[in-house]
Amino acid sequence: MKVKIIPATLSIAIAFFLLFNPINDAFKDYLISRYYDPPLYLLYANISNNLKIDALSVISIKVVNGKEEVLFEENADRVLPIASLTKLMTAFVIFEYPKQYDLSKAITVSDDVLEINGDYGFEEKEFSRKDLLYAILIESNNDAAYALAQNVPFEEEGMENFIKLMNDKAKELNLGKTLFTSSTGLSVNYSTAREIAELSKIIIYKHLDIFKISTEPSFNISDVSNEFNYSAVNKNELLGKLPNIIGGKTGWTKISGGCIVLIQKNEKEEYFINVILGTDSQESRFKEMEKLSQSTYGN
């Protein structure tokens, strides 16, 4: 295994090279994902017209009866890491196969899963698929996402088959710049702000329950024997702060920076889908999304 050590001066040099050299965008994205560590703010686009969003990629669209209008965008087609926004597709695949993924049935969260992730204090016990799904969408639980993907109820079982289902769905939905390598987003999965917005629009009209779950403030998680209990708390700090939120998802890794999806709906049955990729911290994704929402919601 090769260890990558990038001095700060080299990291800054790479940033300026990418900013001021007219190389292919796909090659830029490759260099960023492979060699460039945060701070990501060196690559932010300065947005004019009285709205400046400090992020690598932004889009805001209004959707009425399935038809969309772009309200604001900046670098919306740029391929970037999406961190735990990945879990929107993880949930989408589960909802696409209701017979195979009976949410009332239980699966075991194994020691193998906990050794790989182990970031939420789960124990090796049986949990209902429903509880694991709620843990994914409310607190972005990696153990739950991995366990559900590992227990694929098809002839070809295992994580690789679930990832194939995710990528097959992306292809079916014409998300041509989206690629998944995991169900969690801990490894580098790619998409664009525009394609995440498109996936969100499809979820609204096909599996709205995904977003309904994502707005629950908390949910009690317990194993089937009720020996293990804890409360999954929502990570979206904008719930209760901005009006009429009907869905959302957060994400963060060192490579991706802060990512967030926010869905609002007004009294005219108009949906506002906002996507931000690549803020410089977990906290700033909420600050930037609040600015974006306040500028676009109701327009």
Domain spans in the chain, listed from the N-terminal domain onward: 1-37, 38-296
Q: Is the model more confident about 41 or about 243? A: 243
Rounded distance between C-alpha atoms, residue 168 and residue 53, angstroms? 33
Model confidence over 171-181: pLDDT tens digits? 999 999 999 99
Is residue 87 flagged as an active site residue?
Answer: yes
User: What is the overall mean pLDDT for the chain?
Assistant: 84
Which residue out of 57, 60, 140, 182 is catalytically annotated? 140
Q: Which DSSP string do the residues of 44-65 spell out, in sequence order? A: -----TT----SSEEEEEEEET
Is residue 183 flagged as an active site residue?
Answer: no
Q: Please, what CATH class does the domain formed by 38-296 belong to? A: alpha beta
Is residue 235 flagged as an active site residue?
Answer: no
Rounded distance between C-alpha atoms, residue 261 and residue 196, angstroms? 8
In one letter, which amino acid is 274? N
Inform me whether the pLDDT recorded for 61 exceeds 90: yes
pTM of this prediction exceeds 0.75: yes
3-state DSSP assignment of residue 92: helix
Report which listed range, 34-38, 99-103, 184-188, 236-240, is most confident. Answer: 236-240
Inform me whether the pLDDT recorded for 267 exceeds 70: yes
Tally of CB atoms within 10 A around 2: 3
Which residue out of 87, 169, 249, 265 is catalytically annotated? 87
Inform me whether the pLDDT recorded for 286 exceeds 70: yes
Model confidence over 100-150: pLDDT tens digits? 888 989 988 876 666 665 555 566 788 999 999 999 999 999 989 998 988
